[in-house]
Structures are given as structure tokens and as C-alpha cells.
A and B are shown apart, each in its own frame.
Chain A
Amino acid sequence: MKVKTVVKRVLEILVVLLGVSFLTFSLTYLAPGDPALASFTSQGISPTASEVEEVREEMGLNKPFIVQYGTWLGNCLRGDFGNSFSMHKPVVSVLLQRLWPTLKLAFFSLILMIIIAVPFGMVSAVKQNQWPDYLVRGWTFLGVSIPNFWFGMILMLVLALQLHLLPVTSPDTGLTSMIMPALTLAFPMSAKYARQVRTAVLEELHQDYVVGARARGLSEKAILWKHVFPNAALPLITLLGLSLGSLLGGTAVVEVLFSYPGLGNLAVQAITSYDYPLIQGYVLWIALIYMVINLIVDTSYNFFDPRVRLGA
């Protein structure tokens, strides 16, 4: 991709971020619940009216909306997202602490997903309309229909409670703690991707270069893995970026289910305790990460496809 387009994309990201920041700030501003009061109750104190008023003044909650937004945005730009009401720590350090576990979980799930989806998708395409294909299609149908928290509970029941292979919850980010949440995330995704792989591979198998390769006497295995798969994978790269983005933002249900110490779990905590600075910081971060990942993926797409890279 040309430098110019990258610059354009970065500018786009900035504009979108500004919009997101405005939206999150207004939403939390309009949301019910008094953050000043909440800062007391979260510590188990019931304050007097004048104490609450004092804190409101201190937090700048009495100033006009636009002034509050301006102050907040200026601080954000300097890397200061304020202090978390409920944890009494800077939002940035709280987020940073939770970012790594979520990144780890997201990548682990993605890898698991690829390991499951690619072989199944390939088999399904190569054995089109034969029993392996029907089997895979049945499975993908199930996979996309089952809600992932339900699947997670089944995993918990079987792997942890019945077989005692894994811990029920995942208090840390070690491998054994990650297996169940990652499987829970990977399973429905792999069903979706197995279908995508199947479709993409089927389409590539009808291309002329496959006939050319057969005429040259290449084995079906070599044709499939060295020629068809790389071509079929190209359109899936963008999709993968989107999935990674939503994994980073949308793993909340699964993280809560397994008490996994990630960003999603943190976000849910922040919401239930009216922790506005934390919610705002979280939303901004996720938006930023999502867009940066998409930029990277789109750029890498250009890198992988020589026709785009060399400007055909």
C-alpha cells in the first residue's frame, strides 16, 4: 500500500476516534447514576449531601458539558484518562494490566480457530457433496447456531467438573486457564470460517491455474496446499482482522463466564459500578485497537497479494 493511503487511513482513524470519544463521553454523561455518589458507595461509605456536592465540584461534574468534554479530551491526549472510581488507580494502568491477558486470549483463540477451521474447510471442499462434506456442513451449522456462553458452560461441565482436567475458572492467564475460554471463543468462529474456507477453496479449484498445475503433473496435495490454499486464504485475511478486532472487544461474556482477568471482564465491572472514566477509557482503547488492527491487516493484504502490491 502506498504511503499516501496509509496516511489517509491514519487520518481517518483520528477522525473516527474523535467521534467515538464524543459519543462515549456524551453517553456516560447522560447515563443515570451519579458518579460522585458512586465513588463513595463503591467504598461502602454513605456520604452526606454536602460531601457528595463537594466531590461533584472536585470532579468537575458541575461544569457545562462541553467544558467537561474539552478538559477530558485534553487529558486523554496527554495519556491521562483519569482515575478509575472503583479501583482508585489511573485508568491507563488498569487497562494496560488487562490488555495483555485479552490479547493473549484473542490470539490463542484465533490460532485454535485456524487449526480447526482450515482442515475441515479444505476437506469439505475437496470432498464436495460426499459424506465428509455433509459431516462438516452439519457441524458448521451447529457451530454457528450454538451461543458461545452455552458451549462454554458445557465445556466447564465436562472438562472441569466431570473429568477434572482443567480448573473451572481462569484466575490467571496460564495455558490451562486459557484453554476453555479460548475453545469457547474458537469453536463458533471456526464453524463460520470452515464455511468460508470451503467456499473460497471451491472457487479456487475451478480456476484454470489448477488445470495448468494438473497438466504439469503436480500431485493433488501439492496443488491444494501450495497453490489453491494461498489463493483461497487471501480474501480471508481481511475477515481475520475483523474477527481479531471483535475478539479484543467482544470477549466480555466469555471472560466473565470463566472469571478470566481480561479487558472484557473489566468493562463489565466498570459498567456495573458506574465507573465512567474506566468505561470511557475502555471504549476509546478498543476503538483504537480495532482500527489499528484493521489497518495492519489491510496493509498486510497488500503485502500478500502481489497483484495489489505491485499495482497490477
Chain B
Amino acid sequence: MLEFKDVTIQYGQNVIVRKFNMKVESGEIVSIVGESGSGKTTVIRAALGLLPGDGRVSAGDILLNGQSVLSNSREEWLKLRGDKMAMIFQDSGAMINPIKKIGDQYVEYIQVHDKMDKQAAYNRAVEMLSNMRLPDPDRVMNSYAFELSGGMKQRVGIAMAMTFNPELLLADEPTSALDVTTQAQIVRQMMEINKKYHQSIICVTHNLGLAAYMSDQIIVMRNGFIVESGDRDAILNHPQNLYTKNLLSAVPTMGGERYV
């Protein structure tokens, strides 16, 4: 469904990601792990055509269902973004307009993609927020971003991204701002939707335990390069690269839900 072919990404003259290859099948969950600054965010934002600053794909190609997205027009992106492809950002709070209420923005978002009246859209939003274990979703809807905690804002971002069960969900450290219980709950929900709607997920994470728990494929990045990639089991049980081995040894014991 999504394929990166020898993708090189640079900010200005700085080449940040080199020859990145990745193939995500429909219904598959792929995790990208790697240290801070290795280019994980850069890679998944490229998939949505939303590289920050003056970032651009300078070589290679990104294909969605066989079609290159690099030359997509604004209108073509409009049809994809928020509907077929959605993104959970590393810092969801910053992705919300600070002077408009969460509820207004959520309803606006729903109405852009679905011919619902305001009340129906509002109810749908409240339902999604409750799924994220947000207490008192009505209050959240009636708040501005600055009135919520970081974890609450993150859950708003996750709820928004999951509203339309996108075919491709791009998640940039979706749960690192959350407590362990909420994290487990949300990851479980992501996996449920993945099963139910045959949705593809690319999940960036620092947490190798989480990657092990949810993914089919794992990609290990360092300094803009893929150092190792492949089936989860292959990576976990027979890591070839020293860097991956080090990452793995940092996780106390392997396997099982308790790392989530």
C-alpha cells in the first residue's frame, strides 16, 4: 500500500535521510525505532507531504497504492489527508490552533470529510474522546489547548487521527507522553482498529518493547540510515547489526504484553 524507494530527504543542503526503503502492506503494522535525531519524524512526515521547514524529498520515490505522491497537487492531498491518511504527531498539542476551542476544531475537521450536521459531528467527537479514556469529554471539547495537560492533548490528537479509520495511520511516538495504563489501552485500540479495518500503521517509537508487541515489521534507523529492517521476529531474535543488538540489550527481557 505504501512504499518508499531509495528516498533521500534534505533540509536545505543538509541531507538528513539517505536511501530509505520501506514497504508497508495493507493491514500491516511497521515500527520505526532509532535514537533521537535519526530522522524518524522526517520519514513519516514525508509520507504525508508535510515535511517541516524547507524539507524536501530530493531523490527516490514514495508510492501510495502504486502511485507516486511526490507530485501530488493540493487537491489530491486534500482528498488523502485526514481521511485516507491520518497522522498522530509527536506533540499533538502544538498541532491545534491555540485560540480556538478543541471542540470547534474537531467538529470542523469531521465536517470537512463527512456530511454530518454539527450535533452529529459533536457526538462523534465526544465518542472518540471517550474511547481515548479522556474523562469528561464535554469539558475537553469546550476547552482551549492550553487548558489541557500534555497527555490530554496527545489523546485529543490520537482521537482525531483515528476518527475516520484511515487506511494508513502515521503515528509519531503517539503514546510516549502517556502513563503506562493509558498507553496500553490506546495501543490495544490501535491494534483493534488495525484488525477490524485492515488498516496499515507506521509507528515511530523509542520503545522497542512496544515495537515488539505491536509490529509485523521493524525498521531500525540511525543517522538517517536504515541499519536493519525486516520481520519482527527476525530482528528481535537474530539481530545482525551491532547497534540493534545494543538497543535490544537495553530492554531487560523480551516478549509479552508487559512492555507496552
Contacts and interface: CB of A to CB of B under 8 A. Distances in A.
Interface of A: 208-209, 211-220, 222, 226-227, 230-231, 234, 304-307, 310, 312
Given A209-B95, A305-B99, 5 more contacts: A212-B92, A212-B95, A230-B99, A306-B99, A312-B146
Contacts of A213: 95, 97
A312 B144 CA distance: 10
Given A230-B99, A234-B99, A217 B146 contact: no
Contacts of A217: 77-83, 109, 112-113
B98 interface: yes
A129 B74 CA distance: 20
Contact of B94 (A212, A226, A231): A212
B82 A215 contact: yes
Contacts of A215: 48, 50, 81-82, 86-87, 89, 95
A123 B213 CA distance: 49
Interface string B1-34: 0000000000000000000000000000000000
Contacts of B99: 230-231, 234, 304-307
Contacts of B80: 217
B86 A231 contact: no
B96 interface: yes
Contacts of A219: 78, 112
A208 B108 contact: no
A227 B97 contact: yes
B147 A312 contact: yes
Contacts of B146: 306-307, 310, 312
A208 B78 contact: no
B94 A209 contact: yes
Given A208-B91, A310-B144, A310-B147, A214 B50 contact: yes
10 contacts: A211-B50, A215-B48, A216-B82, A216-B109, A217-B81, A217-B83, A218-B112, A222-B108, A227-B100, A310-B146
Contacts of B95: 208-209, 211-213, 215
Contacts of B74: 220
B98 A216 contact: no
Contacts of B135: none
A231 B97 contact: yes
B232 to A, nearest CB: 28
B37 interface: no
A306 B89 CA distance: 24
Leading 9 A-B pairs by shortest Cβ distance: A212-B95, A217-B82, A208-B94, A217-B81, A216-B82, A312-B146, A209-B97, A216-B109, A215-B87
B152 to A, nearest CB: 15
Contacts of B91: 208
Contacts of B144: 306-307, 310, 312
Given A220-B74, A310-B144, A312-B147, A214 B100 contact: no
